[in-house]
Amino acid sequence: MLLKNKNISFKFLSLCISFICIFASANGANEVHKAIFHSYKDSNYVILHLYNFRPLGGSYEKGNERVSGYNESEILIYNLDSRKLVAQKDFGLNNDISALEILGCSDSILWIYSMHYKSGLQGLNIYSLERKISQAQIYNRLSVWQGRFYDTKWNEINEYFGFNYISNSLIVTNYLKKQFLINTKSFEIEFINPPVLANRKKSDYQSKVIYSDKDTLNIFNGLIHKNKVEYLPNNPFFEGSFIAEQNVQKQYTYFNELLLFFKNVLKNATSMLARVKASKDSEAYEELYNNKLWYEQKVAETKENIDALIMNKKADKLLLSSDNNSFFILHRNNQSNDSFVTITKLSNGANKFEVNWETTIPGMFFNIQTARDTKLFKRYFGDFMPENNKIYIEEINDALIIINQMQVCSINCKSGKIKWQFRL
């Protein structure tokens, strides 16, 4: 439901919320299992794979309520420009005989892997969700036959099949457990040797995020603690975290530019080191040698991030930014049990970070577990309990698109105003 008039009476708003609660409880959808943002022919879409929980019964013991039931899969596709539902389809039980995973999108095709009737890898039309290309047809179109695809278990689909967002190729595993890419247009095959990714500690989401080519932003503890007054003494961020970039193509572009930067610096450092060595200045040589080692390490780490993205793995966090001088923090608007999600935009001013705007999203609770028993939560959701295990945030056309708690919200990046918000 889209509320355009902020002056709607509270009585009417309560009526609307009550209707939403009844609808949500009847529908039973309570988790966005996966969301994919996709642009095609000047239109922006979001593809949502939902788990709809169907309760069978419940019990109450020692203050804990237990509900038994099962999940059903559903796919929804929305046009984000018009906020209209483009396609919707139920895909049955989420179990070993009918589970599915959405992998990625190329042009007008949504690629999925389904256990239903062992139909496997296939492409669906994004406008109808009807099958456009079957696994048998994929076999026939392959440039080189590589044997049958791996017969995966329902809960291991993502280990053997995926989507390479950089080349818009399918990641496929055959019966010999050999992985390769399939070009989604030509169906040419490219063999891949999965890189050995070092098990080094990734950037902490709460306190350390890459901010620029040469610097790492590591002042978050100063922003959120009241006793640290050197940054933003009047703007504490309760349980805040940076909003990281989730778009793989943007991450890939960034790390490639970063790799080029580090390689150029390393080349200059190596050349300078040779000249200093010839001059026999031991102190300068030691300093330059240590700098060279540091840049070599940065080149290796950046290459590792690129390899991770190619293999559809996690890379180091990058700050999501709508320009080159700002970033966003997600936090709660207060410390009450029923506090809402709040987004704050900061920019890098003269010797300090400045708050550009702060926007609280109504009905999007920061912590469902603490909010579920409050009157405010029941006004929005009734007995319906949405999952809060993942929040999807994408910057599209200078707007933040936020998906959480079965809601989709758009915030203007420049003004901080909520452009629209609706329930799934």
Instruction: In whole angstroms, give the CA distance from residue 283 to residue 301.
Output: 28
Residues 218-228, mean pLDDT to the nearest whole number: 37
**pLDDT of residue 136 exceeding 80:** yes
Instruction: In whole angstroms, give the CA distance from residue 322 to residue 27.
Output: 36
Residue spans of the domains in the chain: they are 119-195, 248-310
| Residue 277, amino acid | K
The model carries a pTM of 0.80
Convert the pLDDT of each residue in 148-162 to its tens digit.
Answer: 999 999 999 999 999
Can you give the pLDDT at residue 340? 95
- Tokens 């989709």 appear where? 408
Band the pLDDT of 88: cuts 50, 70, 90: very high
Task: Report the range out of 43-52, 193-202, 205-214 with the highest average pLDDT.
Answer: 43-52
**pLDDT of residue 311 exceeding 90:** no
Residues 357-376, mean pLDDT to the nearest whole number: 93
Band the pLDDT of 244: cuts 50, 70, 90: confident
Sequence length of the chain is 424
Can you give the pLDDT at residue 79? 97
**pLDDT of residue 281 exceeding 50:** yes
Instruction: In whole angstroms, give the CA distance from residue 199 to residue 154.
Output: 27
- Average pLDDT taken over every residue of the chain: 81
Band the pLDDT of 3: cuts 50, 70, 90: very low
Can you give the pLDDT at residue 29? 52
Convert the pLDDT of each residue in 110-120 to its tens digit.
Answer: 999 999 989 99
Please, are residues 20 and 1 in contact by the beta-carbon 8 Å criterion? yes
Token pair listed for 248 = 């793989």
Residues 412-421, mean pLDDT to the nearest whole number: 97
Q: Which of 402, 396, 393 is nearest to 364 (CA)?
A: 402
When mean pLDDT is compared across 130-139, 194-203, 359-368, the lowest value belongs to: 194-203
Can you give the pLDDT at residue 110? 98
Can you give the pLDDT at residue 150? 96
Can you give the pLDDT at residue 424? 86
Residues 306-318, mean pLDDT to the nearest whole number: 84
- Tokens 């039931």 appear where? 69
Band the pLDDT of 325: cuts 50, 70, 90: confident
Band the pLDDT of 422: cuts 50, 70, 90: very high
Can you give the pLDDT at residue 63? 58
When mean pLDDT is compared across 50-59, 201-210, 334-343, 370-379, the lowest value belongs to: 201-210
| Residue 188, amino acid | E
